[in-house]
Amino acid sequence: MDELRSLADLLDLQDVDLQIDRLLHDRESLPELAAYRTAAALEASLSDRYETVASQLRETELLLDKTTGELELAQLKLSQEQNRLYAGGLSARDADYLRREVEMLRTQQSKMEDEILELMETRDQREAELV
């Protein structure tokens, strides 16, 4: 009798196992599962893109801060050199040197201002991408 009970338990277990296999197969063939996988892949892609743009934005802001600081230093030096030039009391050779130095500083200042404008535009574009 124990053998029959044991065989009946095995048959019951086999039925449960078959039901589990059938349910697993049904779950794998659901159309919603394909939509879920597509949505999960899209979410991962968008998340990666967001992180990339956010990192680029941070780099742009750091570069913008650095360039702004350099521009302020260049403007201060330009002001000091102009004051020395216009104060007088310099030899012709020193005055010529200072004039060239002032021109070089003005050119450098202009380039930095252009670079700052480009960085500001880049920052605005990256901020727009994040929204």
Burial class (CB in 10 A: 0-12, 13-18, 19+), 61: middle
Looking up tokens 């901020």 gives 127
What pLDDT shows up at residue 44? 96
Distance between CA atoms of residues 131 and 124, nearest Å:
11
Where the chain has pLDDT below 50, the residues are: none
What pLDDT shows up at residue 105? 94
